[in-house]
Amino acid sequence: MKVLHIIASVDPASGGPAEYLRNITMAMAERRHDAEIVCLDPSGVDFLRLYSVPIAAMGRWAGPYGFSPELGAWITDNADRFDVAVIHGLWNHAAIGPRRALRAAGLPYVVFAHGMLDPWCAGQHRLKHLLKRLVWSFAQGPVLRDAHSVLFTCAEERRLAEGAFWGHAFTSRIVAFGTAAPPPADPAQIAAFRAAVPSLGERRYLLFLGRLHPKKGLDLLVEAFAGVAPSHPALDLVIAGPDPVGLQSKLMARAHALEIGTRIHWPGMLNGAAKWGAFRGADAFVLPSHQENFGIAVAEAMACRVPVLISNKVNIWREVEASGGGLVANDDAASFERLLARWLALPEAEKLSMGEAAGQGFAQHFHIAIAATDLIAALAEACGRSGA
């Protein structure tokens, strides 16, 4: 098959869908399914070079919607080169603008929801949700209605999406989601990470790696760490990632008020060897999110045989718990503090066993090869082919 992927941005800083797209196009290429990407990013930006497939960058207009008048025209001019399209995400021009061009060209498509129908968002931003209800009625809903299927990454995501918006019925399908195996372990990775966080020195640490966003529960992570820090003076916390909404300064102020400011380190976004060194050197990975569709970083940590300590609002928590590769708690400070205390009280042998179980859980549930098999089957069905 020749597959067209349509996405707002392929910038790694934009979150998990971009990382998934980079890995899934490589995994499908290994099975002789070609792909191209059309996105709303400006042409010529450095991160376009991270991808091994052709990318048509339309150029983003100002504002969160990212309108680009060239997108529909590009699809019209190029649709006959593809067998099927995948729209990634919702609530932007890349998720709404292509519908008319795809229908006119007769190009079947699926929509990957990527957690963007989760009701948590409605409770946090009521005015924004009212606007989404309006957009759903006239624009976004018809895109899902006319899709061959809407893809969810697990049963929990699909369950949460049921009834989120009314008026446009659609066909849903669950497909596996995942990421590529990490590069082989190398001492240079640890060295690169330590060099990126000189304030950490050689101290042990818990790791958060991802966007600094209110939904990630970083405020409760700071509170929970403050609760266990006095009893574990040799342990620090690393919070690594881009800060798109200016959250870091507020979290730093709270950490200083709790007298743990020097115990938390903020290296910003980590890439390449430093990123993998951060995972491989961590005692555990922490993600107390209030809402998380999948959590690519959770899968990456497990792939590095690092135990994961997560909330039950990370939609893959059941798979994590069943694998034995981590611990799960509610998404509040008291519950997460108890989880950290429980983890820290474990004998070292049990922590090592949990890390091994995490690696096995990754291979069983979250490897990109499994995700590629599922996506190929969904796309083959959409365009009437026999599959891989």
* Closest of 115, 278, 131 to residue 193, by C-alpha: 278
Angle at 175 between CA 171 and CA 181, to 5 degrees: 160
* 127-162 per-position pLDDT tens digit: 777 888 888 888 999 999 999 999 998 888 888 888
Cα radius of gyration rounded to whole Å, the chain: 21
What is the Cα–Cα distance from 280 to 282, expressed in whole angstroms? 6
Instruction: Dump strand ranges (E) for the chain.
Output: 2-7, 34-39, 55-57, 84-88, 109-112, 149-152, 172-174, 204-209, 235-240, 264-265, 284-287, 308-311, 326-329
Reply yes or no on whether the pLDDT at 387 is more than 60. no
Query: In this predicted structure, what is the pLDDT of residue 133?
Result: 85
Average pLDDT over residues 286-309: 94
Provide the pLDDT for residue 125: 63
Domains parsed from the chain with CATH numbers: 2-180+368-382 (3.40.50.2000), 187-366 (3.40.50.2000)
Q: How far apart are alpha carbons 153 and 292 in whole angstroms?
A: 11
- Those residues whose C-beta lies under 8 Å from the C-beta of residue 204, and which sit 6 or more positions away, are 234, 235, 236, 283
List, for residues 196-251, the tens digit of each pLDDT value.
Answer: 999 999 999 999 999 999 999 999 999 999 999 999 999 999 999 999 889 999 99
Region 306-327 average pLDDT: 95
**What average pLDDT does the structure give for the chain?**
92
For the cut 60, the answer to whether the pLDDT of residue 292 exceeds it is yes
Weakest-pLDDT range from 43-47, 165-169, 321-325: 165-169
**Could you identify the residue written with the tokens 């699926």?**
110
The model's pLDDT over 317-338, given as tens digits with 9 standing for 90+, comes to: 999 999 999 999 999 999 999 9
d(CA 232, CA 252): 20
Give yes or no for residue 340 having a pLDDT over 50: yes
Pairing of strands 2-7, 109-112: unpaired
Residue whose token pair is 């299927």 = 149
124 has a pLDDT exceeding 80: no
